[in-house]
């Protein structure tokens, strides 16, 4: 768990308290279908007592491991994702962006989990313009060129093409 003790924040000079946590990624129950979050999750930041609540700012370092959808390359990528959240014991109903808590701790384990999940891209690509594999010979087109003819034209498209060529 990643718990910030609020009496530590209140006693810190300027009421600014630096926190840092390391936890194995396994402890977060991240999804494992499309990608894996591996290694150690490193969290660091500053907690500030604002008088009405606690302002937490920080970053989450993690590693994403996946197989590229296009070239099937095995990729491990380092990520740093930031967070900026307000925690309070009580908040008016209109203030939707406040996280409520009670007691002398703010547990940011769920926050860290969500920061990582929300930051993950929909597609698994080694780079945005990955050229993938040649569908005929299987060569990795990021690394090499081949001479395969990969223009596969559907029969109906051929008819359409002929019609267009008449103009
Ligand atoms: Zn790729
Ligand atoms: Zn080829």
Express each pLDDT in 97-115 by its tens digit. 899 888 899 999 999 999 9
Pick the ligand that lies closest to the CA of residue 145: 2
Residue 153 pLDDT greater than 60, yes or no:
no
Locate 75 and state its tokens: 């990729």
> What is the full DSSP assignment across 60-118?
EEEEEEEE-TTT--EEEEEEEEEEEEEEES---TT-TTEEE--SSEEE-HHHHHHHHHH
Cβ–Cβ contacts within 10 Å for residue 47, how many?
A: 24
Token pair 């279908």: residue = 33
Tell me how far the alpha carbon of residue 70 lies from the centroid of ligand 2, in angstroms. 14
**Separation of alpha carbons 58 and 46, rounded Å:** 6
What was the pLDDT predicted at 138?
93
Which residues sit opposite 87 in a β-bridge? 54, 99
Pick the ligand that lies closest to the CA of residue 143: 1
> What average pLDDT is seen over the chain?
91
Token pair 């003819």: residue = 149
Residue 34 pLDDT greater than 60, yes or no:
yes
**Separation of alpha carbons 145 and 33, rounded Å:** 32
Tell me how far the alpha carbon of residue 130 lies from the centroid of ligand 1, in angstroms. 5
Residue 152 pLDDT greater than 70, yes or no:
no
**Ion ligand 2, residues whose Cβ is below 5 A away:** 134, 136-137, 146, 148
Tell me how far the alpha carbon of residue 30 lies from the centroid of ligand 1, in angstroms. 23
Nearest-CA neighbor of 63 among 108, 142, 111, 119?
119
What was the pLDDT predicted at 89?
87
Instruction: Check residues 93 and 68 and name the one with the higher pLDDT.
Output: 68
Which residue ranges make up each domain of the chain?
3-129, 131-167
Average pLDDT of the segment spanning 131-154? 87
Tell me how far the alpha carbon of residue 127 lies from the centroid of ligand 2, in angstroms. 20
Tell me how far the alpha carbon of residue 113 lies from the centroid of ligand 1, in angstroms. 27
Residue 157 pLDDT greater than 70, yes or no:
no
Pick the ligand that lies closest to the CA of residue 70: 1
Residue 150 pLDDT greater than 80, yes or no:
no
Tell me how far the alpha carbon of residue 59 lies from the centroid of ligand 2, in angstroms. 43
Tell me how far the alpha carbon of residue 137 lies from the centroid of ligand 1, in angstroms. 16
Residue 155 pLDDT greater than 70, yes or no:
no
């Amino acid at each position: 768990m990643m718990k910030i003790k609020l009496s530590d924040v209140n006693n810190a000079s300027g009421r600014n308290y630096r926190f840092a946590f390391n936890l194995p990624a396994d402890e977060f129950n991240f999804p494992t279908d499309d990608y894996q979050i591996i290694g150690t999750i490193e969290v660091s930041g500053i907690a500030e007592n604002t008088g009405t609540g606690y302002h937490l700012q920080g970053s989450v370092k993690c590693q994403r491991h996946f197989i590229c959808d296009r070239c099937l390359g095995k990729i491990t990528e380092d990520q740093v994702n930031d967070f900026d959240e307000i925690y309070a014991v009580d908040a008016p109903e209109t203030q939707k962006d406040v996280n409520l808590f009670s007691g002398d701790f703010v547990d940011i384990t769920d926050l860290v989990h969500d920061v990582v999940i929300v930051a993950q891209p929909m597609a698994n690509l080694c780079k945005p313009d990955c050229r993938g594999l040649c569908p005929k010979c299987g060569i990795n087109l990021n690394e090499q060129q081949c001479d395969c003819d990969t223009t596969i034209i559907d029969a109906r498209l051929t008819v359409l093409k002929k019609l267009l060529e008449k103009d």
